[in-house]
A and B are shown apart, each in its own frame.
Chain A
Amino acid sequence: NANSSVLRQAMGVAQHHDAVSGTAKQHVTNDYAKQLSSGWDACQTVVSNALASIMGTKENFIYCPYLNISVCLLTEAAETFMVIVYNPLARPVDWNMRLPVNGSHYSVVDPNGQAVLNEVIPVSSFTQAVRRDRGYAANELVFRASAPPLGYRTYSVSRRPGKKPALARELKRLLYRPG
């Protein structure tokens, strides 16, 4: 049931200078945002179908549009999950992943079975203030992913049992008030 026309039409509407420059009345601005959001919701099915096709297997693909404020219900709760990185450029790229998590130790494995260096750092108070009650991740899992030209790579992430309460050994976190 994939349909990219919803987003195509929303993008068409959003070519108006009111949408480009932000010169619309508030309720119109709200509608621009709503149309774009609905378009992206519809396109997720398109992307899922495409990924299922090139991967040769159907998965329950999940999208996390609030990663910029460390919100993703799957990565926050799941013990194991898969990260698929699709690169739309015609050259290989590296990309630094930041995923909201609640564990303190993780194993990240690349498609060749090699362990990927990763770190878990606390979600900042800045982010906690912004996201309000939308997510409860205490930490962020950081690792570098790489993806081939016009292709994808999958990374498997597993939570490891951690005995230490909170990151004490890995982090060098210093508090300082200037002046």
Chain B
Amino acid sequence: AAPLSWTIQNEHLRVVFDPSTGLLKTIENLDKNISLPVSQNFFWYNASTGNQENNQASGAYIFRPNGSEPFHVSQRARLYHVKNQVVQEVYQNFSAWCSQVVRLYAGEPYVELEWTVGPIPIQDGLGKEVISRFETNLQTDGLFYTDSNGREILERRRDYRATWNLSQTEPVAGNYYPVNSRIYIKDKKVQLTVLTDRSQGGSSILDGSLELMVHRRLLHDDARGVGEPLLEPGDYHHGLVVRGRHLILLDTAESSADQHRLRAQQEFMAPQVVFAPGGGPPYQPG
């Protein structure tokens, strides 16, 4: 079939997909007339089992990939989409163990990415640490921002520590930081913010890029005390499947905080949904 318009759009946002790869291509904020090329894909770092410099293996305590370049889960995603009035969805299938739904709800100023990752295959004998990476053309000059400890947002500078002279020996792990609810990158005009639904590790390994670790499955203990590799079996001993959400906000650097602070609060203290059979009692406004 000839590629149609791989676009979903609501009142606030337009999301464009590359028909040749199935990957996210552009996000546009229609209210502010901002258009940002954004490529998003899933990759995995090969977990280190130790090397000549250091016998430290990646494990429960330690994140230590054996190289700085992650591997694609897939360079292409198979797509289908569902367009309705209330919600528009693009389904991306990257592999048998990695998929994602990109959603735009009517009236909502964010893009929802619901990812499903696992069971991570280990038949090749390689431990894997899976990331979702966003690549943009923002001139970030090595800076990115995380909200460690769920309190103030801290500026992070790649290969830098504020209180001592850092000799970076781990270009990936040495730049990973805790992300409790949000991570963002920005230039002087535009900010791309990703809200998480759980604590994750995150970084900006390259200028204009942003990544979050969504799942990991390892074959070696890191010898820090736990005494077991991070190898959760899950149902039927096939490995855990993890499903989560990332909310993407694109706005001006000045007004992004208005968006992400309220939205993150709503995610953290989400409404409680309870059901009851039958038609139910009358509503009591009080």
Contacts and interface: CB of A to CB of B under 8 A. Distances in A.
Contact of B275 (A29, A83, A177): A83
Contacts of B1: 174-176
Interface string B264-286: 01100111111111111111110
A6 interface: no
Contacts of A64: 273, 275
Contacts of A176: 1, 3-4, 19, 78-80
Given A23-B60, A96-B105, A86 B271 contact: yes
Contacts of A21: 60-61
A80 B86 contact: no
B165 to A, nearest CB: 28
Interface residues of A, number: 73
B199 to A, nearest CB: 8
B276 A121 contact: no
B280 A154 contact: yes
B116 interface: yes
B243 interface: yes
Contact of A95 (B4, B83, B84, B271): B271
A41 to B, nearest CB: 14
Contact of B243 (A55, A57, A93, A130): A130
Interface in A137-154: 142-145, 147, 153-154
A4 interface: no
Contact of B281 (A56, A118, A172, A179): A56
Contact of A121 (B87, B226, B272): B87
**B76, B280, B283 pick with most chain A CB within 10 angstroms:** B280
A119 B269 contact: no
A89 interface: yes
A75 B275 contact: yes
B77 interface: yes
B81 A173 contact: yes
For the complex, would chain B's binding face be called helix, strand, loop or mixed by DSSP majority?
Answer: loop
Contact of A80 (B3, B225, B278): B278
Interface residues of B, number: 61
Is chain A's interface secondary structure helix, strand, loop, or mixed overall?
mixed
Of A47, A121, A153, A176, chain B has the most CB atoms within 10 Å of the CB of: A176
Interface in A48-80: 48, 51, 54-57, 59-64, 67-69, 72, 74-75, 78, 80
Contacts of A51: 274
Nearest to A144: B86
Given A121-B89, A142-B86, A85 B271 contact: yes
A74 B213 CA distance: 35
Contact of B272 (A29, A47, A122): A47
Contacts of B233: 26
A62 B87 contact: no
Contacts of A67: 273
A45 interface: no
Contacts of A74: 275, 277
A132 interface: yes
B4 A89 contact: no
A147 B116 CA distance: 29
A12 interface: no
Contacts of B91: 124, 126
Contact of B78 (A142, A170, A178): A178
Nearest to B100: A126
Interface string A11-44: 0000000000111111001000000000000000
B271 A88 contact: yes
A2 interface: no
14 contacts: A22-B230, A24-B226, A25-B227, A26-B232, A48-B274, A57-B281, A68-B243, A72-B275, A83-B273, A87-B271, A117-B86, A154-B283, A171-B84, A174-B4
Given A61-B276, A176-B4, 15 more contacts: A21-B60, A23-B60, A23-B225, A85-B271, A86-B274, A88-B272, A95-B270, A126-B116, A156-B279, A156-B280, A172-B82, A174-B80, A177-B78, A178-B21, A178-B76
